[in-house]
Structure 1
Amino acid sequence: MRVAVIDLGTNTFHLLIAEIKNHQFSILYKTNVPVKLGEGKINDNLIIPEAFKRGIDTLKSFNETINSYHVDQISATATSAIRSAKNGEEFVTVAKAEAQISIKIITGDEEAQLIYNGVKLSGAITNTALIMDIGGGSIEFILCDNENIFWKKSYNIGAARLMQQYFHSDPISDGDKNAILFHVQNELADLFEICETYHPKTLIGSAGAFETFASLIIKKNNSDENIETAISYTFEYDDYIKVATTLINASHNQRHEMPGMIPLRVDMIVVAALITSYVLGRTQINQLKLSTYDLKMGVLSSYL
């Protein structure tokens, strides 16, 4: 059986096509497109016309690719940007009419479950862990081990939301930094409370920004590792702290020139670094991993 998984994120639309046989999968094709669905008005809960059109055009292109691979089943999931947008349902209707793709808008709770399923598939969970998925619209946290989820929650404090609301300086000013961290501190109070009960040993970052952190470190260290093909990656804690500090203190142009930087993340990576470092500090976790398996792999795992 051939399956196509589409993840309609706030920043990026992902397409993955896999062949499933005897409870195993092989990936035939994957791509991602920086649609920037949350551009401009994410905090007003609106998909602006330009972003709306980019999203539909991308889905039309995805549908052509899917047809060329003779896919048996398509699973398309929409997360924070479409979930919270006043015209989110309209986007789903137009996608069905013009791109022949049926989209399911999932809740934050469902999103967190699928992220856990994807990360579990990677083998990155080896002890009590806190999984963190930094999206453009929302951030999911999952407290878990390899067998169970103890607690999970989705927060509407994604990198695009915080950037549009608070990040108005270059390099980021102390005032902007403090505004972001004050907001995050208030939003995540219950997360830090539950972590005091479970004492997670490892923070596992699910794809996205964590792939960029890893890519920057690999390039800086002249390592021959390749995040494109890796399933997981273990950070040296000091390497992460150094790269996060550099990102936070750098200007837009300096970040843009860093080997391993993805253009879409040049500014949002600052917000991601601030939040990740704050969470590590508050939870006193000093083990950090990346799982390149994320929500879309969680969707794929349901077919195995």
Structure 2
Amino acid sequence: MSKKRSSNLYAVIDLGSNSFHMLVVREINNSLQTVAKVKRKVRLAGGLDANNNLDQAALQRGWDCLSLFAEQLQDIPTANIRIVGTATLRLANNVAEFLTTAEKILAHPVNIISGEQEAALIYKGVAYTSSGQGNRLVVDIGGASTELIIGEQAQAKLLYSFKMGCVTWLKHYFTDGKLNQHNFTQAIDAAKAVLNPLQEKYLTLGWDTCIGASGTIQALQEIMVAQGENEHITLAKLHHIQQQAIACGHVDNLNIKGLATDRKPVFTSGLAILTALFESLEINNMFLAGGALREGVIYEMTGLRASHNVRQQTVNGLMIKHQLDLEQAERVKHTALKAFDQLKSTIAADDAQAGPLLAYVSGLHEIGLSIDYKKAPQHAAYIIDNTVMLGFTKAQKQLLSALLINQRDELNLPLLAQQSAISYASALLLCRILRVSCTLALRRTDGTIPDFSLTLAAENTLIITLPTQWLAQHPLRAAALASELELQAKQHLPFRIQER
């Protein structure tokens, strides 16, 4: 029997300067499902000598890794496979030697892409997987190059690939392995010098949000979460983590809370480059991207279009997948947003995402029913915790999960305190709004939700005002509101029910 190759499988192999990656996805109904991810630290750039030739050890590490990847490619149509090489392979004088053996191992051609092509694909990957309005600055620190792109929605406006990366900077500025202020200052100043010729172009075009798409940024987010910080990367946090690194004295002794062992070798050099970027480009804060080069290549192969609202597309997909009652989801969302509008003056200015996140969680509030009514809120939180949600950051997912588990029954306030997407006060208010909105929409029928108003008074007292005689005419929902009053009172959250 002949083997049938699955035409809806796609694979991309990224031959990076620090790591080789393989991503395999399955296309289903105009969306992508990841079915395999393999990553190996090859540190190809570490094998470049003074004449930019790859040494035999680096070549062999690369070939050994590709031998692992090759088996997976056998069952995927040739047209659905793309293998790309980046900065180190662009630089290596003996690249032909590497490619000859690599292509024999893989039985597929390897495409060495230019720095500009790499930057464009990185931006495409970010545009498809990360949310953001207006101009976006995308940063990707690789092993031997750093890409900076400014774009809006799916269109890149300014892109450039700079010849500096975490592996090459490690070799030049942290050769002795010592972690001291002198080495960091040298590495940061050198990165600033590389950026300087194009610095003004980027500052003039400007951006509204900044997104990071590399292992360095991933490592920093893991460190900040482990150390009880929110997920926003700022210059102050970079300086603080730099001092933690210096206190360790040597790369071999690098022990920063939250830093994974496999990220340690090139973390300090990546940190120095990122610090230079923040200082040169006056970046206020940065978020982690949902995807980059590999995702950009996949989306280019499949021809799928980027959504103008990645998060809404993600939510819509989950609603369809879990067969939610779309009309009821809309009722609860409409009710919750009406309540939010009445209370938005009490939301902190820094919590601009509170409204949109309330809309998303309202639409998903019944997702746990796809498992069972009993413990549906816990099931809902489990689904969110264990689902890849493009466009949502880790902290935003944690908030959605905490709100879903608190949508009914006893309140678990510590979960709201543990998230860092918005302030605890705002998260608590969203929780109370969601609970009241679900109660008012119990009838599951248009036209049955009363004309209500919500206010927040002294001592965090939530007051709902309903039409005259409404409570007497609607005993089921009146009882549900009374029960809600008791549940909130248990947590010292005053809730008052009154009529006009």
Residue in 1 that maps onto 2:144: 137
Of residues 105, 121, 130, the one that matches 2:128 is: 121
Residue in 1 that maps onto 2:267: 269
Range moving further from structure 2, 122-131 or 56-65: 122-131
Structure 1 position 248, deviation (Å): 4.8
- Are 2:197 and 1:190 aligned? yes
Listed as ranges, the matches of 1:228-243 within 5 Å are: 234-235=232-233, 239-243=237-241
Of residues 45, 57, 64, the one that matches 2:64 is: 57
Of residues 268, 272, 283, the one that matches 1:285 is: 283
- Are 2:23 and 1:25 aligned? no
Distance change in 2, residues 1:102/1:248 (3 Å) = farther
Q: Distance in 2 between matches of 1:43 and 1:205?
A: 30
Q: Distance in 2 between matches of 1:241 and 1:122?
A: 29
Structure 1 position 201, deviation (Å): 3.4
Structure 1 position 238, deviation (Å): 5.1
Distance change in 2, residues 1:198/1:189 (3 Å) = same
Conserved? CA contact 1:46–1:85, under 8 Å = yes
- Are 2:160 and 1:153 aligned? yes
Q: Distance in 2 between matches of 1:249 and 1:140?
A: 30
Structure 1 position 160, deviation (Å): 1.1
Q: Distance in 2 between matches of 1:277 and 1:182?
A: 10
Distance change in 2, residues 1:18/1:272 (3 Å) = same
- Deviations, residues 162-220 of structure 1 (Å, cap 9, x unaligned): 11112134442333233323322221113321123123233311131111111112222
> Between Structure 1 and Structure 2, how many residues are aligned?
292
Residue type of the alignment partner of 2:187: I
Distance change in 2, residues 1:244/1:181 (3 Å) = closer
Normalised by the size of structure 1, how large is the TM-score?
A: 0.88
Residue in 1 that maps onto 2:51: 44
Q: Distance in 1 between matches of 2:246 and 2:298?
A: 35
Residue in 1 that maps onto 2:42: 35
Residue type of the alignment partner of 1:150: K
Residue in 2 that maps onto 1:229: none
Structure 1 position 2, deviation (Å): 0.5
Of residues 86, 107, 115, the one that matches 1:108 is: 115
Structure with more contact order per residue of length (Cα contacts < 8 Å, sep ≥ 6): 1
Residue type of the alignment partner of 1:32: K
Q: Distance in 2 between matches of 1:244 and 1:273?
A: 7
SS in 2 for 1:179: helix
Of residues 185, 188, 193, the one that matches 1:181 is: 188
SS in 2 for 1:197: helix
Could you say what the CA RMSD is over the residues aligned between the two structures, in angstroms? 2.2
- Are 2:306 and 1:299 aligned? no
Conserved? CA contact 1:56–1:99, under 8 Å = no
Structure 1 position 42, deviation (Å): 5.5
SS in 2 for 1:38: helix
Structure 1 position 235, deviation (Å): 4.1
Distance change in 2, residues 1:105/1:235 (3 Å) = same
Residue in 2 that maps onto 1:226: none
Residue type of the alignment partner of 2:172: Q
Higher relative strand content: 1
Q: Distance in 1 between matches of 2:176 and 2:68?
A: 36
- Deviations, residues 246-287 of structure 1 (Å, cap 9, x unaligned): 2354332442x3344343431321121122122212222212
Structure 1 position 291, deviation (Å): 0.6
Normalised by the size of structure 2, how large is the TM-score?
A: 0.55
Distance change in 2, residues 1:147/1:27 (3 Å) = closer
Distance change in 2, residues 1:193/1:43 (3 Å) = farther
Conserved? CA contact 1:109–1:154, under 8 Å = yes
Distance change in 2, residues 1:179/1:239 (3 Å) = closer
Conserved? CA contact 1:234–1:289, under 8 Å = yes
Q: 5+ unaligned residues in a row in structure 1: which ranges?
A: 224-232
Residue in 2 that maps onto 1:212: 219
Higher relative helix content: 2
Conserved? CA contact 1:247–1:273, under 8 Å = no
Residue type of the alignment partner of 2:261: P
Structure 1 position 19, deviation (Å): 0.6
Residue in 2 that maps onto 1:9: 16
SS in 2 for 1:287: coil
Distance change in 2, residues 1:92/1:30 (3 Å) = same
Conserved? CA contact 1:124–1:289, under 8 Å = no
Residue type of the alignment partner of 1:185: K
Distance change in 2, residues 1:198/1:36 (3 Å) = same
Structure 1 position 96, deviation (Å): 1.3
Structure 1 position 222, deviation (Å): 9.0
Residue type of the alignment partner of 1:268: V
Identity among equivalent pairs (%) = 25
Structure 1 position 8, deviation (Å): 0.5
